Amino acid sequence: MATKTKVSKAATLREKDIAGLQAEIKDLQKAHFGLRMQKATQQLNNTASLGVTRRDIARAKTILAQKQATAAAK
């Protein structure tokens, strides 16, 4: 996940529909929870991955909100 750039990640997310984005957010939140548990048990080597997943969640939520706003406007 960290190998993708912001542009390609956002472009990939924009291609998905609302249900796909919601599923992606759920998957990212599960991954973030797993990373938090690894950090709590001192098993996480790369703590920067927490910030990366948090930003990925925010990016997906932003795109979801934009898509929902355009769907409501139509």
pLDDT digits (tens, 9 = 90+) for 9-64: 899 999 999 999 999 999 999 999 999 999 999 999 999 999 999 999 999 999 99
- Does 46 fall in a domain? yes
- 48 within domain boundaries: yes
Name the pTM for this structure.
Answer: 0.86
The whole-angstrom separation of Cα 26 and Cα 61 is 10
Domain count, the chain: 1
Locus of tokens 């472009």: 11
List all residues 6 or more positions away from 68 whose beta carbon is below 8 Å from its beta carbon: 18
Name the residue range of residue 60's domain. Answer: 6-73
